[in-house]
Amino acid sequence: MNKRALLIILDSVGVGALPDAANYGDEGANTVGNIAKAVPLHLPNLSKLGFGHIQGTNLTPDAEAVGGYGRMAEKSPGKDTTTGHWELAGMRLTQPFPTFPDGFPEEVMGRFEEAIGTKTLGNVVASGTAILDELGEEHMRTGYPIVYTSADSVFQIACHEDIIPLERLYEMCEIAREQLTGKYAVGRVIARPFVGTGKGAFKRTGGRRDFSLVPTQPNILDVLKDSGHDVLAVGKIEDIFAHQGITQSNHAAGNPACIEAMKAYLEEPFNGLCFVNLVDFDMVYGHRRNVQGYADALMAFDQALPDILKLLNEGDLLLITADHGCDPTHHGTDHTREYVPLVAVKNGQKKLVNLGTRASFADVAATISDYFGLQERFHAESFLSELEEAQ
């Protein structure tokens, strides 16, 4: 009989500042909790699985909830997408990816411009929407790609699709990825295509692609694939893991498309993991500090949850968590260093179980490995037995 695990990442849905948040300028951050204080936030279907019991959510617990609930601390330094996803998959970093608060040094930019055969614009820390208003029209006049970074370890290249075709943008990203090694080895090179006629009218498109570092340690994707299991990736998962350890992928863009892709996978038989990233919470609402939009996106996922649950088979393992925070009520436009929520259900479970505060995101990888009867625990602790005791 096939065994299936579904891992859903609510990108940036944090539940409160980690003890070391002050080191990142994130004291007081709490993505879900602060949203719930600011606007009405109703998540009845998540709450039926125990989400409202999680410390920090500021939601009313459902007295009849069934599932496992808790929160997880990040052991790795950092608060970025790659670090969070890698730790969820069982890889913990001891050093953060490099960041460039003053832009990239001349040796990096000179080498890159020589390789792509053109000058660039920007090379600053910037919000992805603000930089388009600032430099988009100049980009259209000159044809020079816009390069920028953020508080995260990223090298981002923005190009208007009518000026530089997607294929050429991806080619430039691949060149940057190949060059950015050693002390310049950023976590991700990101293609940021956009359209529009001028300042105030520019808009990013769904052609975004992430070019991540190749994972440097064993992880649950590799372990599952090497043991003959399916690893199905939805959204930007394939990019985050540099296309390694994956047997099939659907690079859907945006929450609605990713939810439909996930449901399509669940409607078919498979034996392994379906790994899903829902990016809109972070990219569309968190970074833009859109509190109401973030709340609406959370409630939209909550409304979609019953249809997802109907597609689970008896004994399937469902895990819902996040990779970092991005509190839209917080200062700035960057990610926030937070605990992430943990909802875990072995389908058919009859009781509610408190999974507590987990010491590492890697407990997710350990639990998935345990569920499939594999030996690897990634120096973490499985909580599978706690779920099975609640059957």
Supply the CATH number for residue 330's domain.
3.40.720.10
Which residues partner with 293 through β-bridges? none
What ranges in the chain are assigned the alpha helix state H?
31-38, 44-47, 81-88, 106-116, 130-142, 166-179, 220-226, 237-240, 255-266, 280, 291-310, 363-371, 384-388
Final residue of a structural domain among 178, 212, 246: 212
Final residue of a structural domain among 188, 212, 236: 212
Contact between residue 277 and residue 240 where contact means Cβ atoms under 8 Å apart: yes
**CB count in 10 Å sphere of residue 232:** 24
Mean pLDDT for 39-49 is 98
Rounded distance between C-alpha atoms, residue 127 and residue 344, angstroms = 34
Closest CA relative to residue 244, chosen from 264, 261, 224: 224
How buried is residue 50: exposed, middle or buried, by Cβ count under 10 Å (0-12/13-18/19+)? buried
**Position 1 pLDDT exceeds 80:** no
- Which pLDDT value is given to residue 91? 97
Q: Same domain, yes or no, for 13 and 124? A: no
Q: Same domain, yes or no, for 208 and 237? A: no
Would you say residue 68 lies in a domain? yes
**Position 348 pLDDT exceeds 90:** no
- Which pLDDT value is given to residue 391? 74
**For residue 124, what is the domain's CATH number?**
3.30.70.1250
- CA distances (Å), origin 63, targets 263, 294, 309, 361: 29, 26, 20, 27
Q: Same domain, yes or no, for 115 and 46? A: no
Q: Same domain, yes or no, for 198 and 281? A: no
Q: Same domain, yes or no, for 284 and 229? A: yes
Q: What pTM was estimated for this model as a whole?
A: 0.91
Q: Same domain, yes or no, for 239 and 303? A: yes
- Which pLDDT value is given to residue 63? 96
Would you say residue 101 lies in a domain? no
Would you say residue 100 lies in a domain? no
Average pLDDT of the chain, as a whole number: 96
The number of folded domains in the chain is: 2
Q: Same domain, yes or no, for 258 and 384? A: yes
**Position 132 pLDDT exceeds 80:** yes
Q: Same domain, yes or no, for 222 and 321? A: yes
Longest Cα pair distance anywhere in the chain, in angstroms?
64
Q: Same domain, yes or no, for 260 and 383? A: yes
Q: Same domain, yes or no, for 188 and 220? A: no
Would you say residue 37 lies in a domain? yes
Q: Same domain, yes or no, for 132 and 148? A: yes
Q: Same domain, yes or no, for 239 and 319? A: yes
Domain that holds residue 44: 4-95+216-388
Final residue of a structural domain among 212, 234, 266: 212
Would you say residue 352 lies in a domain? yes
- Which pLDDT value is given to residue 127? 84
Closest CA relative to residue 120, chosen from 81, 90, 101, 148: 148
**CB count in 10 Å sphere of residue 314:** 8
